[in-house]
Amino acid sequence: MTREPRGLGKGVRALLGEIPNADQLRKPVGYVNKEIVGTRGRQENTADILRIPVDMIEPNPFQPRSAFDEEALQELAASIRTLGLIQPVTVRRITDDRYQIISGERRYKACRLAGMSTIPAYIRDANDQGMLEMAIVENVQRENLDPIELALSYQRLLDECSLTQDQLADRVGKKRATVANTIRLLKLPAKVQHDIKVGLLSAGHAKAILSVDDPETQEQLCDLVIRDGLSVRELESIVRKLQVSHGGLGKKPARPAGSQQLTDDYYRLLDRMGKYFTSEISLRRNASGKGVMTIRFSSDEEVSNFVKALEDKQF
């Protein structure tokens, strides 16, 4: 039986109101002096910079950036025409006359726009997984990824490179909590993720919206920020009012007396569980090691996938 969409309730709508024109404010998501390669024969694992003809280079299929700003590319191309390419790209050798970008696809595109016939490059040998990890980590550390691209990059490192969140945090030089909070952005509704990606919402806005569990309310809050140009502090104030007027909607329970800081083992458990359940999972323990874990699921499919993982010993 098909369920009717669940409303927000009079208390929530009284605070948020109707926001009919927010969609009109949205926009669509838009990312010498060196020898020419081959003149000295094949160089393995070289740390030197060589010039590679542009027609011998192909884009990276594992590129985490999904869109490039055309105006920024044109500005970079103009700079390259005047100053040359300051930072070489990094490529891997596929054959003796074919190379694939590991990092620097934006620079590569700008070089083509600038009309360069050869591109300065470092050459590395890397397998696909090693290449993927290097490309993503390099982008995370050096490129100005938007928060959603960053979250997707982190998630790919977890899923495709089989890293734990601790290993991921070490790779990218961030605190584990920072990595975890970034990945949580992927739990937001698609409309909210879109608005973060195109810059209509900041990471601070997203953090405030994530404190509310209900997806429809999250979208309403997103629309409200866009329509009224709310600051993060103003949005946080509205969220607090929602939590009070709607029975603590999305509010995390206060830590009870005698509760203890969780160890890394508990966080690893929560990470594993979080791969199968989209809703928040809470875990509390006391000084003696006793505690409670609460798992909220949003569909039968989530439970089935979790059970299958247990049976297949993949958990």
| 18, 105, 143, 302: the active-site residue | 105
Closest to 107 (Cα-Cα) out of 151, 153, 138: 138
In this structure, are strands 89-95 and 50-53 parallel, antiparallel, or unpaired?
unpaired
Catalytic-residue membership of 105 = yes
DSSP 3-state assignment of 94? strand
At residue 283, what is the residue type? L
Determine whether 305 is exposed, middle or buried from the number of CB atoms within 10 Å of its CB (0-12, 13-18, 19+).
middle
Which residue stretches of 173-281 are H helix? 176-183, 190-197, 203-210, 215-228, 232-245, 264-274
Pairwise CA distance, residues 309 & 306, whole Å? 5
Token output for 160: 């495709």
C-beta of residue 183 within 8 angstroms of C-beta of residue 271: no
C-beta of residue 189 within 8 angstroms of C-beta of residue 218: yes
HEC string of 9-74 equals: CHHHHHHHCCCCCHHHHCCCCCCCCCCECCECECCCCCCCCEEEEHHHEECCCCCCCCCCCHHHHH
In this structure, are strands 98-103 and 118-124 parallel, antiparallel, or unpaired?
unpaired
Residues labelled as active-site residues: 105
